[in-house]
Structures are given as structure tokens and as C-alpha cells.
Amino acid sequence: MKQNKKLIELVNLQKINDDCLMCVAETGKQIPFTIKRVYYMVNSAPNLPRGYHTHKKLEQVFFCIRGSMKMVLDDGYHREETILNDPSVGVLLHPMVWHEMHDINEDTIMLIMASDRYIEADYIREYSKFKKLVDESKK
Ligand code: TYD
């Protein structure tokens, strides 16, 4: 059987100890796309999962810069998960990979770097629609 490429690809930021932990992300170094948008989530409602969508073209790197959360990735055929709890380590999310974030609590701070501005038309929010597109692309 053909070996599937690992779904979870980690990004390790440059770490500088300067009376703090400084983490540096640069386009073309740790981040494999031009960063056009950064967004973050604070004061999350506890135990409310997020995500549950995929993007047609957008690339993103997800960080948990405080606390922890579980990140689940799904390519339509298999799922992989990892715990994010280190501010210097992110998960690279390619287009057409379904993602979910679980076990978020109110202290969790997520920070996301994205390859494009917010475009609602780039979202696929129904798993069945995502799965259909993945299956069609394999034909
Ligand atoms: P969404 O991407 O669905 O969040 P999550 O994946 O964390 O569950 O976004 C939640 C809402 O915020 C949705 O109505 C779209 C809006 N939003 C913007 O307006 N701009 C943005 O850059 C982002 C990421 C979301």
C-alpha cells in the first residue's frame, strides 16, 4: 500500500532567549508562503470546538501561544491529531485539508498566519461537500 504523506507538518519558529522567549516567524524561512493576514483568538468559550471547515486555496500556520489545544487534520481519507502547547511550534495547514480545534479553554490563545486576506468564498464548511470534492479530484 502506498505510504500516505504525513498530514501533520510542524513548523518550528526561531527561538531567542532574551529575558523572555521570543519566537520569530519570517516569510520564506519558517513560513512557506507570504503572510498576508494574522489573526488570533483569546477569551475562548471553554470546550467549544472550532474550525470544522477547509479552504480551497488558503494556506495557514496555526500556533497555540498560550495554553493548549488539540488540532485535528483530515484529508478526506484519514485523520491525524496533535496537541499544540508550545508557542514556538505551529501546524502547517494546506488547502483542502479539513481541520478542527478541540480542548480549547479560556486561557488558550491561538495565533494564525495566513497566505491571504479573509475570503468567505474560499471556505467549505460542509464535510460532505469537502469529501465529494476530494473524491472527485482523485478520479
Ligand atoms: P472561522 O474562520 O469560521 O473561525 P474558526 O475556524 O476559528 O471556527 O471564523 C469565525 C467567524 O469570523 C466567521 O463568521 C468569519 C469571521 N472571520 C472574519 O471575518 N475574518 C477573518 O479573518 C476570520 C478568520 C474570520
Q: pLDDT tens for residues 42-57? A: 999 988 999 999 999 9
Closest CA to 84 of 103, 98, 70, 99: 70
Q: Is residue 51 within 6 Å of ligand 1 at its C-beta? A: yes
Q: What is the DSSP letter of 2?
A: P
Q: Is 49 left (phi over 0), alpha (psi -120 to 50) or beta?
A: beta
Q: What is the DSSP letter of 112?
A: E
- Per-residue pLDDT tens over the stretch 12-27: 999 999 999 999 999 9
CB of 118 closer than 6 angstroms to any ligand 1 atom: yes
CA 20 – ligand 1 centroid, Å: 30
Confirm whether pTM is higher than 0.85: yes
